[in-house]
Amino acid sequence: MPRSVRALHRPRRTPGFRRSASMLRAFTLLLAGPAFAAPSGLQADLDQLAGTFPGKLGVAVRDLDSGARAAVRGGAPAPMASVFKLPTAVAVLRRAQEQQLPVSSPVQIRWEDRSPGWSPLAPRVPREGLTLSLDAVLEAMVSESDNTAADALLRWMGGPEEVTRVLKRLQLAGIAVHRSEHALAYDLWGVTPPGKPEGLEELMARLGQVPKQQRLEALKRFSADPRDEASPEALVELLARLEAGSLLDPVHTSRLQQLLRGARTGPRSLRAGLPSTVQLAHKTGQIGSQDGFTVAVNDVGVASAGGRRIAIAVLVTDADAPVARCEDVIAEVGRRVWARLGSTETSR
């Protein structure tokens, strides 16, 4: 539209209109300002913890009701470790929702799906495979953090790249899934993947032969690998949108929240720092340590009690400390967050 024509269509703004609009903007900022400001005490707490921890401490915190937030290294990507199972669960449930697949749908767990690392499911899988419901495999992956369940669901999705495609379509920026648990194991231990599927027994035998120095070098390379990373702020955004019901419909949202509340991992991390009366729906992740170097210990979730809901993501990376020290700093983050933002009654 030519400028002269645009001028004819521009509404006439009187001085009174301009004053009203200005007052409205000021009033809006007055309301929004405190809601989104970082509580100074909490920010100081997080800065102090990050400054004294012998590694990279990434934290993002958001009060889901007031909007108050704080962060340290909040936008810095870090290895997700098993936290990747949370966005994977979102993608799986989104597909089930869109394709109207009941969670009772069968999922085949193959002999070759058995994965190294933590997997209570692996010994249950016979050579001919095991069929479980989609819901049961999701529970194993989310609540138990089972690696075999994760690989079976990645295959069910069509591969990690399909999970990432769903996340992008949902506009969940800053989170990407690239590798299966099998592929992660090869990179973590610095061994070359075979040209054909490798059984769990053969893989474990090969991993057991890796010299300690080669293993340490592989761990340090892994922590610098940009794949399978997310930032604390991206994970808090996922948690916030899950709570708001904008990622899944009410039925699938409720089920995922239930699985997160039922998590049986990470008792020494966020859970240890929160009062027993606070409900925690969370997902943990951990990549082992060697010679005092720990790649990653993570915990992300929503703490709720007394009408308060606080999303917290803590990603600990490249720590010159054992796993227990990493868990302790995560617990301390949870303790200080709840003390600053949680309800007075629950925090006593």
Q: Above 80 in pLDDT, residue 31?
A: no
Which two structure tokens, joined as six digits, stand for 113? 């799906």
Burial of 198 (0-12, 13-18, 19+ CB in 10 A): middle
Burial of 133 (0-12, 13-18, 19+ CB in 10 A): middle
Contacts of 106 (CB under 8 A, 6+ apart): 131, 132, 133, 134
The model's pLDDT over 103-119, given as tens digits with 9 standing for 90+, comes to 999 999 999 899 999 99
Domains by residue range for the chain, with CATH: 38-347 (3.40.710.10)
Q: Above 50 in pLDDT, residue 2?
A: no
Which two structure tokens, joined as six digits, stand for 144? 């138990």
Please tell me which residue, 277 or 16, carries the higher pLDDT value.
Answer: 277
Q: Are 86 and 283 in contact, with CB atoms under 8 Å apart? A: yes
Q: Is 138 helix (H, G, I), strand (E, B) or coil?
A: helix
What is the C-alpha end-to-end distance of the chain, expressed in Å? 64
Q: Above 50 in pLDDT, residue 17?
A: no
Which two structure tokens, joined as six digits, stand for 294? 């720990």
**Angle at Cα 81 formed by Cα 287 and Cα 253, nearest 5°?**
145
pLDDT at 197: 80
Rounded to an integer, the average pLDDT of 67-73 is: 96
CB half-sphere exposure, 30, CA atoms < 13 A: 6
pLDDT at 259: 98
